[in-house]
Amino acid sequence: MKISYFNGGKTVPSVRFRRPLFDLLSQRGHECIYHSSYPSRYDDYRWLGWSRSNRLRRWVRTRQIKRIRKERFDSVVLETGIFHSEDYSLERELRFASGRLVYDIDDAVFLLFPEKVQAIAEMSDQIIAANQKIAQWARQFNLCVSVVPTCVDASEYVAKMHRDDTESSQKVIGWIGSSGNVPMLAECAPALREVAGHYDFQFRVITSDESKLAQLDLAGVDVRFVDIDRCDVIDQLHQLDIGIMPLPNDDPWMEYKCNAKMIQY
């Protein structure tokens, strides 16, 4: 088959976890073409500005849809959505350009853009949900739903050999995730401050935007930022003694999480 993976960009967390599935299809003889967003769905080019970056993104996506229509792909897998907004005009164009449209959802985007996500779900030939909870929501609008869990390649994520306690007095507690989720660390900030008063440890935050850390009260905590886009992620995870994944209890978004951090740890 000739398959298009129409995704939000190489740096988008959902793409990092879902793309390996399409690499496996390529290994099995299918032709997989990656149509990525430029700039990525959540970003802009600072030198170009937000407005012009959006225009560039739309131009790139329009060109990609024209290519899909011209080259006649057997299936187009749409990851999450083309834009991070209520607009789904290009999704409708992609529907008409696709021989078969498959909608891949790994997060509760329907809580942010309910009308848009429902419309895409209804117009799709099939939905891939990353967990049973998302699948349950999707079946309200489309009965052709498959669950393909978010996972990691165990051949790459080799378990670390834990060092002996005598090797180093300082332990490393870490968190990995997108910059938009950094505010969730406020849930455990009081605990981290208290532990820092009794034990020597470094708190390592592996994400893409260091400025987000300024919003947190981590006074007295030895905090180190690691740029997720410029590091070997697995090597950084091997350096952690403890990985944390705080989830606010009062946020409905948490109900649909795929627990990718936990799987990585």
Question: How many residues comprise the chain?
Answer: 265
At residue 204, what is the residue type?
Answer: R
pLDDT of residue 145: 98
At residue 223, what is the residue type?
Answer: V
pLDDT of residue 16: 86
pTM, to two decimals: 0.88
Q: How many CA atoms lie within 13 A of 50 on its CB side?
A: 1
User: Could you count the other beta carbons within 10 Å of the beta carbon of residue 127?
Assistant: 25
In whole angstroms, what is the distance from residue 187 CA to residue 152 CA?
26
pLDDT of residue 167: 57
Strands 101-105 and 75-79 come out as parallel
Place of tokens 């959006």: 54
In whole angstroms, what is the distance from residue 134 CA to residue 225 CA?
32
Write the DSSP symbol of residue 84. S
pLDDT in tens, the chain (265 residues): 999 999 999 888 889 889 889 989 999 999 999 999 999 998 888 888 989 999 999 999 999 999 999 999 999 999 999 999 999 999 999 999 999 999 999 999 999 999 999 999 999 999 999 999 999 999 999 999 999 998 888 888 888 877 666 556 789 999 999 888 899 999 999 999 999 999 999 999 999 889 989 999 999 999 999 999 899 999 999 999 999 999 888 889 999 999 999 999 9
In whole angstroms, what is the distance from residue 27 CA to residue 85 CA?
34
Joined together, the tokens standing for residue 3 give 């398959």
pLDDT of residue 3: 97
Q: Among 59, 22, 17, 70, which Cα is nearest to 37's?
A: 59
pLDDT of residue 110: 97
pLDDT of residue 163: 64
Q: Among 175, 167, 178, 172, which Cα is nearest to 16's?
A: 178
In whole angstroms, what is the distance from residue 205 CA to residue 90 CA?
36
In whole angstroms, what is the distance from residue 157 CA to residue 167 CA?
23
